[in-house]
Amino acid sequence: MERILKGSRIAEIDRRCIDEGIDSKMLMQNAGSSVARVVKSDLGNKKDLKGIVVCGGGNNGGDGFVAAIDLIREGIDIKVFFTQPSERFSEDTAFYFSRLEDLKKENIFFLNIEDKKSEGSFTGQLKEAHFLIDAIFGTGIHGKDLYGQARKLIEVINSIRPNKIYSVDIPSGVDSDNGKVLGIAIKADTTVTFGCKKLGLINQPGAYHAGRVKVADIGIPSRYFEQYEQIFEPGMDWVAEKLPAREPWTYKHRVGKLLVVAGSVGLTGAACMVCTSAMRAGAGLVTLVCPWELNNIFEQKLTEVMTFPVNQTEDISIHYDSLEEILDLSKDFDALAVGPGISKNSGTIKLVRELLKRIEKPIVLDADGLAAIYGPREVNNDPDIDFSNVIITPHSGELALILGMDTIKLEERYDINIRASKEYNLVSVLKGPSTLISRPDGTTVINNTGDWALATAGTGDILTGIISSLASQGMDNFHSAVCGTYIQGMASDMVSLNTGKTSMVATDLLEGIKKVFLKLEKIKYKEYRHG
């Protein structure tokens, strides 16, 4: 998996590299040259290319000066604007500024965006430019909103956009630790970042401003990244490797038996989508526990899934009196999915709480079932409940309820998901843009498949089915959650090519799951070829 760090770690990593003998000017040279290479690769050898490089006074600006030097040497017409007096530059930045002056001093301009003449010169060049390189701020700005000249400069760049904007390391105005936009930020088409991705490039809304993210190796050994937060992005090969291998002689009882406890009047679709997606994701047997009055509906809607009707409440949800039946039935299954469409009837939620106390097998808890742990409650401190076998799959609103909070902001999602995982000692899958999967030791995977096409009713039920299916097949909870989330997102990416993102509905994902597993099997079973 690909490593991700908070951007604030980079200054410390740079210091460690320099203390151990790595030349800081070489790192800056490598960084700036990597930006220039990306620009050249994108734009090719078009004649009469015009570009603007806007540089601050820190090391990010130095990277910009290096990129400008390389592009000028390639024959590209580059105008460089710097926003801080040169005497305030960092040492390495001043070094490359001097080299740039030696190369093309007439193309370098001090920019005071609040001075009419300076602003006019800049906007005139901006309107003629084919691309702009943003090297104003790097990974070192956090917390406070931008104001004054910095804010106005970014406003001007965003309003008079050249065809392409490239940001150096992170778009100026994005907090590299969490993706928060500090009042305003450059909207880049491509961000060239160094060594590894930064959390601010992956978490929204920073990811929206980053555009395409390219990671450049600038000569920092990977060991320097290992002692910090453990954040990763998965890939297709990694997911294929983690999926349980199947012997040619296997059979349905060996490849996963899943018990689904779900459904109530008006919410039968949720239970059906969980069961069907679990089958698509490879569970050998799926059985649905449901209110007896709804059994005929499920018998008609579900062909491959068995049903187990039990006593129901007046609301036509699963009755607490069915607890012992469900506990006895669960002994024959490998994992459970609990909650989708189960209702928030108080007796039904009490049943869910008892299942959490008394079943030690993997349980994926979702949707209405999450009401069993809404906080603040004593449930997370109840010694009779061991959450170590539980995966929760809330969206931000549900996780806020669980933790007794009002709301969870986009930039808070990473820290709060880890908090939930640690407090409850479980795997937490925080659904939404760049879904987060955290385990109690703080290890977090940020899913890089799927997008806003998944913002439609029922996709959470599909996800619960995939994750619980993988758990029933013997995967540990964390890897079930990571792989299941990746598979659902990839299914969406593939299907929405034909449906459109706006028109995709949850059941379209069932076709996508098949396509994803075709790809995964070709990777995992190299000797096996479809068709």
How does pLDDT run across 316-325, given as a tens digit for each residue? 999 999 999 9
Residue with tokens 């439609």: 456
Q: What pLDDT is stored for residue 499 in this prediction? A: 96
Q: Angle 344-348-353 (CA atoms, 0-180°, nearest 5)?
A: 100
Determine what percent of the chain is predicted with pLDDT higher than 90: 88
Q: What pLDDT is stored for residue 531 in this prediction? A: 44
420 token code pair: 């939930």
Mean pLDDT throughout 10-16? 88
Range from 382-386, 419-423, 486-490, 513-517 carrying the lowest mean pLDDT = 382-386
Mean pLDDT throughout 386-401? 96
> Coil, helix or strand for 49?
coil
Mean pLDDT throughout 141-154? 93
Mean pLDDT throughout 402-430? 95
Strands 436-438 and 444-446, by their bridges, are antiparallel
Number of C-alpha atoms within 13 angstroms, CB side, residue 477?
26
Strand order in the sheet with 164-168: 108-110, 77-82, 50-55, 131-135, 164-168, 190-194, 212-216
Distance CA 287, CA 302 (A): 10
Q: What pLDDT is stored for residue 529 in this prediction? A: 52
Q: What pLDDT is stored for residue 381 in this prediction? A: 55
pLDDT digits (tens, 9 = 90+) for 257-286: 999 999 999 999 999 999 999 999 999 999
> Coil, helix or strand for 464?
helix
Determine what percent of the chain is predicted with pLDDT higher than 70: 97
Choose the CATH number for 255-524 among 3.30.70.20, 3.40.190.10, 3.30.9.10, 3.40.1190.20: 3.40.1190.20
pLDDT digits (tens, 9 = 90+) for 152-199: 999 999 999 999 999 999 999 999 999 999 999 999 999 999 999 999
Mean pLDDT throughout 43-66? 92
Distance CA 81, CA 74 (A): 19
Residue type, 17: C
Residue with tokens 């070709």: 522
Q: Is 9's pLDDT higher than 80?
A: yes
Q: Burial level of 411, CB count in 10 A (0-12/13-18/19+)? A: buried
Indicate the length of the chain as a whole number: 531
pLDDT digits (tens, 9 = 90+) for 89-113: 999 999 999 999 999 899 999 999 9
Strand order in the sheet with 306-310: 197-198, 2-5, 231-233, 444-446, 436-438, 427-430, 390-392, 363-365, 335-338, 257-261, 285-291, 306-310
pLDDT digits (tens, 9 = 90+) for 221-230: 888 888 889 9
**Band of pLDDT at residue 47, cut at 50, 70 and 90:** confident
Distance CA 526, CA 528 (A): 5
pLDDT digits (tens, 9 = 90+) for 515-530: 999 999 999 997 555 4
Mean pLDDT throughout 418-438? 96
Q: What pLDDT is stored for residue 32 in this prediction? A: 97
The residues spanned by each domain of the chain are: 2-229, 255-524
Q: Angle 164-79-25 (CA atoms, 0-180°, nearest 5)?
A: 90
pLDDT digits (tens, 9 = 90+) for 281-320: 999 999 999 999 999 999 999 999 999 999 999 999 999 9
Averaged pLDDT score across all residues of the chain: 94
For the domain covering 2-229, report its CATH number: 3.40.50.10260
Output Rg (C-alpha) for the chain, integer angstroms: 27
Please name which of 157, 322, 256, 311 lies closest in space to residue 465, comparing C-alpha atoms: 256
Q: Is 150's pLDDT higher than 50?
A: yes
Please name which of 279, 275, 303 lies closest in space to residue 288, comparing C-alpha atoms: 275
Cβ–Cβ contacts within 10 Å for residue 528, how many?
9
Residue with tokens 């017409």: 77
Mean pLDDT throughout 463-491? 98
Mean pLDDT throughout 373-387? 68
Q: Residue 130 contacts by C-beta under 8 Å, 6 or more apart in sequence?
A: 43, 46, 49, 50, 51, 162, 163, 164
Q: What pLDDT is stored for residue 122 in this prediction? A: 94
Q: What pLDDT is stored for residue 528 in this prediction? A: 55
Q: Is 382's pLDDT higher than 70?
A: no
Distance CA 486, CA 520 (A): 11
355 token code pair: 């299942």
CB 316 within 8 A of CB 238: no
